[in-house]
Amino acid sequence: MSETGALTDSGSEPEERVLEAALRPKNLDDFVGQARVRQQLSLVLEASKIRERTADHVLLSGPPGLGKTTLSMIIAAEMNAPLRISSGPAIQHAGDLAAILSSLSEGEVLFLDEIHRMSRPAEEMLYMAMEDFRVDIIVGKGAGATAIPLEIPPFTLVGATTRAGLLPGPLRDRFGFTGHLEFYSVAELELVLRRSAMMLSLSVNSAAFSQIASRSRGTPRIANRLLRRVRDWALVNRQETIDERAACAALDMYEVDERGLDRLDRAVLFALCSKFGGGPVGLSTLAIAVGEETETVETVAEPFLVREGLLGRTPRGRIATAAAWAHLGLSMPADAIFAGQGGIELDSESDD
């Protein structure tokens, strides 16, 4: 995810995870935003406490950096249960999963990150474990193979995925509750930032919070990262209090503009408008024009530009919207084809 290591990339680097862990809210009340998911989840957890049973399995889906890992930790904490963490890519054989499942203690929360990347045989073993708290261990091969049933203690599976669409139906159906995380509003991100600033003992004024929040692409991870960069800037420039001027100067220096676009995002839009008259132009041509890999343009820059309504994907190629021209401060030529005009249909972003 983070191949470019950009400031506005919503994925996280290993060294950043340590910093993130420190800023993670520890209970549902401290978790900002996502009101509906929080309410639903709290009901699921409350009910299971009253029934004195382990909570139903929970699936958390949504884009990177919105709080899936954080919520899984909160679930374990709220249930007073130990937490075991693993991930789809780490479970390539059914045996890997069997080893984890058979070592769980009663009521333990098992967090499987990127659950859509688990191997098929492991997935099938998981179905059974989720439903019957039992797995069949296959011993031997071919005609002589036998299945040895193994009881496992009741546990709560919390699965996280950025690609709910890639999850096979039978697996999705076995979760008692699915929480879909949405992008955060600027006001919510300001709350996230206020909390982080307090934990980092930073003095930041309201206008500065709102500047950082509105450049954070609806993503708490990015908000916290921008806050740390602004903190660096203030430290070096000996600013005791981070005000709007300091926040803007810092973020301008890091090339994150007032709408949260970074250097690559703007390069893509600029090439699209200035070199190709606003498109349509093929993705690979566009990538060459900005000197990047096709995949980087497609996975790093495009999703946000499409979400912001600045770029359109059409069957004939990429186009700049009227908003893109305006954002770059360019006047749109009369013959430019943009969304809603010229009979071009926009492709909605697919989840595969």
Ligand X SMILES: Nc1ncnc2c1ncn2[C@@H]1O[C@H](COP(=O)(O)OP(=O)(O)OP(=O)(O)O)[C@@H](O)[C@H]1O
Partner that binds at residue 4, options ligand X, Mg ion, none, CB closer than 5 to 8 Å by kind: none
68 is catalytic: yes
If one asks whether residue 218 binds ligand X (CB under 6 A), the answer comes out as no
Applying CB under 6 A, does 312 fall inside the site for ligand X?
no
Site string for ligand X, 27-46 (x = CB under 6 A): ----xxxx------------
Identity of the residue, 57 or 68, whose beta carbon is nearer to Mg ion in the bound complex: 68
Per CB under 6 A, does 20 bind ligand X?
yes
Closest separation between CB of residue 85 and Mg ion, Å? 10
Contacts of 183 (CB under 8 A, 6+ apart): 63, 66, 217, 218, 219, 307
Least distance (Å) between residue 187 CB and ligand X: 13
Closest by Cα among 208, 296, 310 to 6: 296
Q: 221 catalytic, yes or no? A: yes
Binding mask 176-215 for ligand X (x = CB under 6 A): ----------------x-----------------------
Selected catalytic residue, list 162, 178, 219, 321: 162
Burial class (CB in 10 A: 0-12, 13-18, 19+), 334: exposed
Rounded to whole angstroms, what are the CA distances from 270 to 214, 230, 251? 22, 26, 20
- Residue 141 a catalytic site member: no
Among 6, 8, 9, 25, binds ligand X (CB under 6 A): 25
Active-site option among 68, 217, 225, 266: 68
φ/ψ of residue 320, rounded to 5: -90, 140
The smaller minimum CB distance to ligand X, of residues 228 and 263, is found at 228
The CA distance from 34 to 235, in Å, is 33
Q: What contacts 42, CB < 8 A, 6 or more positions away?
A: 28, 78
Given the structure tokens 């919520």, which residue do they identify?
71
Establish whether 231 is a catalytic residue.
Answer: no
Region of residue 175 (phi > 0: left; psi between -120 and 50: alpha; otherwise: beta): beta
Closest residue to ligand X, judged by C-beta, is 67
Return the residue of 224, 233, 234, 311 that touches ligand X, per CB under 6 A.
224
C-beta separation of 10 from 65 below 8 A:
yes
Residues that bind ligand X (CB under 6 A): 11-12, 20, 23-25, 31-34, 64-70, 162, 192, 220-221, 224
Task: Tell me the catalytic residues.
Answer: 68-69, 113, 162, 221
